[in-house]
Structure 1
Amino acid sequence: MNAHTTAKVVAMNKNNPVLQWTAAMALSGTIGAVVLESGADAPDVAFARSLVGGLLLLVWSAARGWLRPWTLSRRDLLLAVLGGLFLVGNWVLLFASYSLSSIGVSTVVYHTQPLMLVGLAAAFLGEKMAKSQLVRALIAFGGVTLISLSAHGADGKPVRLAGIALALGAAALYAGASFVAKQLTHVRPHVLAAVQLVTGTIVLAPALLVTPLPTDTSGLLWLVLLGTVHTALMYVLMYASIGKLPTTTVALLSYVYPVVAVVVDVLAYGHRPTWPEGLGMLAVLAAALAPKRTPARQPARV
């Protein structure tokens, strides 16, 4: 392929929101493997991701002239920091859950978060919850129950319920981050993400005193990969595409994330879902990944 053809392909991909969103979801599905391969503790992984991803997003935003003194009001800044606390807390819980259950199980359970967001919007914003949404919530949490009772890890032993509990906690925190983001739709999402990641870097830095970052080159390279490709690049792809796609397309292509995570879990880590577990996974995905409305802007999924 010559240089001219390569440039045309890059330009086509750049202007194709479907490819951009699909690529972002596929990257999301491989995050679990990167986290496990790094060998770092969950708070350290979240710190590294916040540091590297935050710096790159700050550079990206500054290069485009999006960072100005009046970019955020005091209220916006406080909400952005609050959203950042929810976001990085969600990462810590989700990353910790991988080793206690499995990548596939944690990721699927984590996808109950759209329904939690619906509940938050109903409770605090007065948005009406349709009966169909309540039914989907019951189906999703029934699926979580099936997974909890029947899922097994790579060692053939039942997954630890603590891992599933952490994934549910991560989903709740992510729903909180999305709820805050709904109040900041007037803020450019790249800037919002950068502020949230800077917040995460500051809050998680003390964790290094207890659990230091890996000292081996391999572990550090995995963390750099997570911050560059699976955070900064993924954010850019998501925010460049989500506003250009119909809600139904976003919801459908979002299935790529958990499907890739389950495939990675099976191929790389030997996870073999049981029939009840598989049924539970399908119940969660069918119920939770087809929300009535998809927020135009939301924080990265993981």
Structure 2
Amino acid sequence: MTNPESRPVLQWSAAMALSGTIGAVVLESGAAAPAVAFARCLVGGVLLVVWSLARGWFRDWRPTRRDLLLAVAGGLLLVGNWVLLFASYSLSSIGVSTVVYHTQPLILVGMAAMFLGEKVGRSHLVRAGVAFAGVVVISLSAQGDDGHPVRFAGIALALGAALLYAGASFIAKQLKHIRPHLLAALQLTVGAIVLAPALMFTPLPSTAPGLLWLLLLGTVHTAVMYVLMYASIGKLPTTTVALLSYLYPVVAVVVDMAAFGHRLTWPEGLGMLAVLAAALAPQRTKADMRNAQPGIPSRASR
């Protein structure tokens, strides 16, 4: 391939496809959400620290006190987002939780308007209304992997995760001057420290398969995925990133149906399309283009 965008496209596509399989790995591990998030932080954080050290990125890094405080705050929101999202899978389904979770870019725009005074265009208000309607339809019509209606608690947890992720992205926008690999390594370290006490109540799996699933999550679905995202995000147009970000929820829904037997009803499918169309629609204004798209880590990551 001679197109200069070919490599970044493949890297970003691979990262989005990996994101879509996270839910399956979480459920297969059999561990509670806090333990899964801890393992992801520990394994992924160690690998990212080693990667950054090998690249020499720590050598000249002199973070200010403000940077450290913001990074820690963003890390707490990021890790909290994982705990809520992972917990939502078993209460609804992987596909439902992932699609509802993709309301986060709309929430982020609202935060920018509230705290930074950025103007919210009419198109964003329309998309937000469509997405909200889609969530309502999903809540009323979707079925869980057990064949019963999804629990509202699962929808609420996914929305809570979206809110926390939007907050983490909002803070990350204030730390654009920090290399994303370093920021991610720091935040994952914070997450591992904060979640360690939770292991007294939600221990790690006692079986080898369960531990191997968590090892896979920390290595491939965290460290490798972060490297792929950060290697490609700055080299692709926003429209390309937004389009390829559809892979994340689409893969999650396909995996949910293929591996866990989730049956997609037509109202549920319609609600999912409404949420994704509203959240992933290409932005038209310069102000909108500055706002994070789903799948764009904004120096934080899913």
TM tier relative to shorter chain: over 0.9
Aligned-partner Cα distance in 2 for 1:68–1:124: 34
Aligned to 1:6: none
Percent of aligned positions with the same letter in both sequences?
77
Q: C-alpha distance in 1, partners of 2:280/2:87?
A: 23
- For the pair 1:125 / 2:116, whether they are aligned, the reply is yes
Structure 2 counterpart SS, 1:213: coil
Q: What residue is the counterpart of 2:244 in the other structure?
A: 253
**2:257 corresponds to which of 266, 284, 287:** 266
- Counterpart of 2:164 in structure 1 is 173
- Which of 245, 260, 272 is 1:281 aligned to? 272
Deviations for 1:197-235, whole angstroms, at most 9, x for unmatched residues? 001001000000111111100000000000000000000
Q: Give me the whole-angstrom Cα distance separating, in 2, the residues matched to 1:143 and 1:67.
A: 44
Aligned length: 293
Change (3 A) 1:212 1:88: same
Measure how far apart 1:266 and its partner are: 0.3
Q: Which amino acid aligns with 2:171?
A: V
1:209 lines up with 2:196 in the alignment: no
Of 17, 28, 34, the match for 2:19: 28
Partner amino acid, structure 1, of 2:94: I
Return the alpha-carbon distance in structure 1 between the equivalents of residues 103 and 262 of structure 2: 21
Residue matched to 2:35: 44
Match of 1:75 among 43, 57, 66: 66
In the aligned structure 2, how far is the partner of 1:89 from the partner of 1:226?
A: 17
Cα-to-partner distance string for 1:252-301 (whole Å, 9 max, x where unaligned): 00000000000000000011111111000000000001252254752454
**SS of aligned partner of 2:138:** helix
Which digits, 9 at most, give the CA deviation of each residue in 1:99-156, with x for residues without a partner?
0000000000000000000000011111111110010000001000000000011222
**1 CA distance for matches of 2:299 and 2:98?**
16
Q: CA deviation at 1:177?
A: 0.4
State the one-letter code of the partner of 1:298.
Answer: S
TM-score normalised by length of structure 2: 0.94
User: Which sections of structure 1, spanning at least 5 residues, go unmatched?
Assistant: 1-8
1:146 aligns with 2:171: no
Q: Does the 8 Å CA contact 2:5/2:235 hold for their aligned counterparts? A: no
* 1:84 corresponds to: 75
CA contact (8 A) 1:182 1:297 kept: no
Letter matched to residue 118 of structure 1: V
* Contact in 1 for aligned 2:45/2:185 (Cα 8 Å): yes
Q: Secondary structure at the match of 1:99?
A: helix
Give the Cα–Cα distance (whole angstroms) in 1 for the partners of residues 139 and 50 of structure 2: 43
Q: 2:98 aligns with which of 98, 103, 107?
A: 107
Is the partner of 1:212 in helix, strand or coil?
Answer: coil
| 1: CA distance, partners of 2:299 / 2:43 | 17
Secondary structure at the counterpart of residue 183 of structure 1: helix
**TM-score, structure 1 normalization:** 0.94
Partner of 1:4: none
Alignment check: 8 A CA contact 2:98 2:158 kept: yes
Conservation of the 8 A alpha-carbon contact between 1:27 and 1:230: yes
Structure 2: gaps of 5 or more residues: 284-288
